[in-house]
Chain A
Amino acid sequence: MSKSAEHREQIWEQARKTIAQAERSLASSRDLTPEQEQAELRRRAKNLARKPHETRSGEQIEVVTFLLAREHYAIESHYVREVHIMRRFTPLPYTPTFVLGVTSIHGRIVSVLDLREFFGLPRQGMTELNKLLVLQAGQMSFGVLADDVTGSRHPALADLQESVHTITDARESYVRGITSDRLIVLDGQRLITDRRIVVSDKPYSEQEI
């Protein structure tokens, strides 16, 4: 009995200690010491002072990379007008299944496309699908949904493998190439000017593809 009482006492002691430590750490995190603040600022300044991307041999393209159905895709930056977080959209009736609807961006109506439907990819797993890449080429402009926009890159054109054996589905004709780290670079021009994108008043099945 005394043993168990001792054990209990130890546990309580430990709990008290832990709480005290937590309190201390909280108090310390609230206001950084001047040294720490200085160190942080220095680190950031160093980062900013870094040189821009080294230009490697050959021609480079700048792409915006995004995540869709657990795969990394990229599209050339000059086809992307802007990136947005899509809060809501309005569904449109009598449109192909890949047209989810329309949404408003800075007071302009932009149609929203689901590339998974467009490429005929199987729906698998939960995806966020709340980022909108607004693509533009000439007069044509529409948004495509992505799970996440991961940033921009500058892959060399030489690195792109154009003949892709692993992609044999509907995406094939829209893929410009694939990098060694499995980044699928889409052909922006072809995608934007595709006739399927243009919504006519005829039923989808009667359209010429």
Chain B
Amino acid sequence: MKTSLRTRLVGSFFMVIAGLMVISAVAIFTIRKINNTLEEVHQTDFQPYKSIASANNSFYQWLRLLEDFLADDGDNLDQDEQQLLTHWNRILAQLETQLEGPLTTAGRQSLTSAISQLQGINITQERLVTLVRENRMEEAQRLRFREIGPAINSVEEDIDAYLKLQERQFEESLMGADTIAQRAVAQIAVLALLVLLITITITILVYRAVTGALRNIQGAAQELSASTSEIVATTSELTSNSVETGTAVNQATSTVEETRQTARVSSEKARSVSEDAQRVSQTAGKGKKTVEETIESMRGIQHEMNSVAQSIMRLSEQSQAVGQIISSVNDLAEQTNILSVNASIEAARAGEHGKGFSVVAQEIRSLAERSKEATGRVREILTDIQKATSAAVMTTEQASKKVDTGMQHSSRANESIEVLATSISDAARASIQIAASNSQQLAGMDQMNEAMSNINQASQQNVESAKQLESAVRNLDKLGAKLKSVVEVL
């Protein structure tokens, strides 16, 4: 159930009150009922009983009057007689009125019997009165004992019986009232017990709710305590931060001042840069011209290199031709050699005659040998020449390539110089813009300075506020502690 504690408390309170009210209503109702019953008893039973009792009383008074009358010396006879009659009539009247009320048969029987007896007594009484008047006292006495006495006794008995009846009835009525009262008491007791049970249940429920709430409050108080300590720490940090901000702002102010100076300096520099840039631009033009000339001369070198390469090629071809000539000379020498050997063989065959021929053959052989050696040397030299030629070809080729690269580099340098020149003019323009923006910056710096002092003030105020906040949080902390202790007591 999501009802609040207050609603629950009020609800239970009202429930208990409603219970009590129910008990009170039941009690009031019962008391009224008992009262009515008693009234009824009083009306129906007690009044007749009272009147019969007074009738009885009157009877005994009549009896004493009768005795007095009998003992009377005769003075006041009329008065006594009058009294006697009055009493008797009263008794009769009282008894007769009894008959008018609600009666049991037995009661009615006794009552009627008593009335009839009384009426009988009346006749005897008149005789007695006459006897007394005549002063025949003895006869009167006799009459009294003989006739009136038993009548009186039976009347007494009847009245007694009636009285007893009435008494019993009255008691019964009372008993009825009593049972009603007892029942009411039982009802009230049951109700009270019920209310008590409800009250106990509600109390337990409320107790539980309250203890839960208290526990929650306790937790909350602890949390509050923790939070407040955190807040305290944060506040102190805030304070120190504010102080730091103040110093930082001071530093920033000085930095702004420095920046202002720097801006002034840079403005001057920008102006001088623009002048320099113009000079550099002129230099770049000159450089470009030089590079173009360089490219032109490189082209010349390339041309000459080509003719050098052609010359070398021719040289190489010619040395090849020389090589061919040499190999044919070599061949000739070899053949000459063979020829000389054959000549010597032939000389040997000729025996002694061939001896001189043998010498010639030997000489031819040595000549061939020497020309072979010479061709060998020429071949070696030729090999060297070939090597040198190929080296020269290679060198020329490399040089040509290098010239090519040089030309490429030069044209690239030309491009670079152009780019440089445009960049420099851009830089000159930019430096003019920089000078302009620098003056704007100076104005901005002034504004910044002002803003800085504002910030400084604000940060000082911040420090104050932070201190106040800190004290407030400390109070809150105390409050939390108090709350905690209160809840712990509960």
Taking Cβ atoms with an 8 Å cutoff, the residues of A that contact B are 44, 47-48, 50, 52, 62, 64, 77-78, 80-85, 131, 149, 151-152
Contact B360 A62 (CB under 8 A): no
Q: Known interface pairs A47-B363, A52-B358, A151-B365. Does A64 touch B341 (Cβ–Cβ under 8 Å)?
A: yes
- Chain B 327-369: CB-based contact to A (< 8 A → 1; otherwise 0): 0000000110110111011001100000110111011011000
Contact B359 A78 (CB under 8 A): no
Contact B345 A48 (CB under 8 A): no
List the A side residues contacting B348 at CB < 8 Å. Answer: 62, 77-78, 152
Residue in B closest to A76 when the chains form the complex, CB atoms: B348
Contact B335 A77 (CB under 8 A): no
List the B side residues contacting A149 at CB < 8 Å. Answer: 337-338, 341
CA distance A44 to B345 in the complex (A): 23
Contact A85 B335 (CB under 8 A): yes
Chain B interface size band reads 20 to 34
Residue in A closest to B367 when the chains form the complex, CB atoms: A44
Contact B345 A64 (CB under 8 A): yes
Q: Known interface pairs A78-B348, A80-B345, A152-B344. Does A52 touch B356 (Cβ–Cβ under 8 Å)?
A: yes
Contact A83 B342 (CB under 8 A): yes
7 contacts between A and B (CB under 8 A): A44-B363, A47-B363, A77-B344, A82-B342, A82-B345, A152-B344, A152-B348
Q: Known interface pairs A52-B355, A85-B338. Does A152 touch B360 (Cβ–Cβ under 8 Å)?
A: no
CA distance A80 to B343 in the complex (A): 12
List the A side residues contacting B355 at CB < 8 Å. Answer: 52
Residue in B closest to A77 when the chains form the complex, CB atoms: B348
Residue in A closest to B344 when the chains form the complex, CB atoms: A152
Contact A48 B337 (CB under 8 A): no
- B338 contacts which of A47, A48, A78, A131 (Cβ < 8 Å)? A131
CA distance A47 to B356 in the complex (A): 12
**Given A64-B344, A149-B337, A152-B341, 17 other A-B residues pairs in contact with their CB atoms under 8 A:** A44-B363, A47-B366, A48-B359, A48-B360, A48-B363, A62-B348, A77-B349, A78-B348, A80-B345, A81-B345, A82-B342, A83-B338, A83-B342, A84-B338, A85-B335, A152-B344, A152-B358
Name which of B340, B345, B348, B358 has the most chain A CB atoms within 10 A of its CB: B345
List the B side residues contacting A50 at CB < 8 Å. Answer: 359
Residue in A closest to B361 when the chains form the complex, CB atoms: A152
List the A side residues contacting B359 at CB < 8 Å. Answer: 48, 50, 52
List the B side residues contacting A131 at CB < 8 Å. Answer: 338
Residue in A closest to B338 when the chains form the complex, CB atoms: A83
- B341 contacts which of A48, A52, A78, A151 (Cβ < 8 Å)? A151
Q: Known interface pairs A52-B355, A83-B338, A85-B335. Does A77 touch B345 (Cβ–Cβ under 8 Å)?
A: yes
Contact B342 A151 (CB under 8 A): no
List the A side residues contacting B366 at CB < 8 Å. Answer: 47
CA distance A149 to B338 in the complex (A): 7
CA distance A185 to B355 in the complex (A): 22
Residue in B closest to A153 when the chains form the complex, CB atoms: B344
- A85 contacts which of B334, B340, B358 (Cβ < 8 Å)? B334
List the B side residues contacting A78 at CB < 8 Å. Answer: 348-349
CA distance A82 to B362 in the complex (A): 16
Closest chain-B Cβ to A36's Cβ sits at a distance in Å of 16
Residue in B closest to A62 when the chains form the complex, CB atoms: B348
CA distance A1 to B486 in the complex (A): 103
CA distance A155 to B407 in the complex (A): 75
Residue in A closest to B366 when the chains form the complex, CB atoms: A47
Closest chain-B Cβ to A207's Cβ sits at a distance in Å of 32
Residue in A closest to B358 when the chains form the complex, CB atoms: A52
List the A side residues contacting B335 at CB < 8 Å. Answer: 85
Closest chain-A Cβ to B480's Cβ sits at a distance in Å of 92
CA distance A84 to B337 in the complex (A): 10
Closest chain-B Cβ to A181's Cβ sits at a distance in Å of 18
Closest chain-B Cβ to A148's Cβ sits at a distance in Å of 9
Residue in B closest to A85 when the chains form the complex, CB atoms: B338
For window 99-120 of chain B, which residues contact chain A by CB distance below 8 Å? none
List the B side residues contacting A62 at CB < 8 Å. Answer: 348
CA distance A48 to B362 in the complex (A): 9
Residue in A closest to B340 when the chains form the complex, CB atoms: A151
Closest chain-A Cβ to B399's Cβ sits at a distance in Å of 14
Closest chain-A Cβ to B70's Cβ sits at a distance in Å of 199
List the A side residues contacting B358 at CB < 8 Å. Answer: 52, 152
For window 188-223 of chain B, which residues contact chain A by CB distance below 8 Å? none
List the A side residues contacting B341 at CB < 8 Å. Answer: 64, 83, 149, 151-152
List the B side residues contacting A48 at CB < 8 Å. Answer: 359-360, 363
List the B side residues contacting A52 at CB < 8 Å. Answer: 355-356, 358-359
Residue in B closest to A79 when the chains form the complex, CB atoms: B345
Residue in B closest to A83 when the chains form the complex, CB atoms: B341
- Chain B 369-412: CB-based contact to A (< 8 A → 1; otherwise 0): 00000000000000000000000000000000000000000000
Closest chain-B Cβ to A41's Cβ sits at a distance in Å of 13
List the A side residues contacting B356 at CB < 8 Å. Answer: 52
List the B side residues contacting A64 at CB < 8 Å. Answer: 341, 344-345
List the A side residues contacting B337 at CB < 8 Å. Answer: 149
Residue in B closest to A128 when the chains form the complex, CB atoms: B334
